[in-house]
Amino acid sequence: QVQLVESGGGLVQAGDSLRLSCAASGRTFSPYHMGWFRQAPGPEREFVAAITWTDNAYYADFVKGRFTISRDNAKKTVYLQMNSLNAEDTGVYYCAIRMGPLLTTVTTMSAYDYWGQGTQVTVSS
């Protein structure tokens, strides 16, 4: 079993920054790829950013230039630095992990094997 624990969410004002962290533990193995998704009030969970084992980073258009994803393999942790936050960034942010070769694009939920419980980000305008 694999566990993912997100942290770093909170309540901030528009224009502020937050850094989310997601630590993996349990039966993880390399190579692994990690991603962030978010869910605003509503049924859809949308892609935010992802980083592959080879450090290729992918971003949703609405976060390009504002968010940066990075990873620390020694700590099995992925980070999401979020700058210039706005009210539309409000939601629950989930991290996910895929171990082994990628079978589909990292921008889709189906690419991942395990998910964290999520961390709430609230941006007041």
Summarised one tens digit per residue, pLDDT across range 17-64 is: 999 999 999 998 889 999 999 999 878 899 999 999 999 999 999 999
**Does the structure show a pLDDT above 80 at 101?**
yes
> Residue type at 113?
D
**Does the structure show a pLDDT above 90 at 103?**
no
pLDDT at 44: 87
The answer to whether 19 touches 8, Cβ cutoff 8 Å, is yes
92 against 125, higher pLDDT? 92
Q: How far is CA 123 from the centre of its chain?
A: 17
Instruction: List alpha helices for the chain, DSSP H.
Output: none
**Does the structure show a pLDDT above 80 at 3?**
yes
**Residues facing 54 on adjacent strands:** none
**Does the structure show a pLDDT above 90 at 102?**
no
Q: How far is CA 56 from the centre of its chain?
A: 14
Q: What is the mean pLDDT of the chain?
A: 95
- Number of helices (H), then strands (E), in the chain: 0, 11
pLDDT at 42: 77
> How much is the average pLDDT of 65-86?
97
> How much is the average pLDDT of 91-114?
94
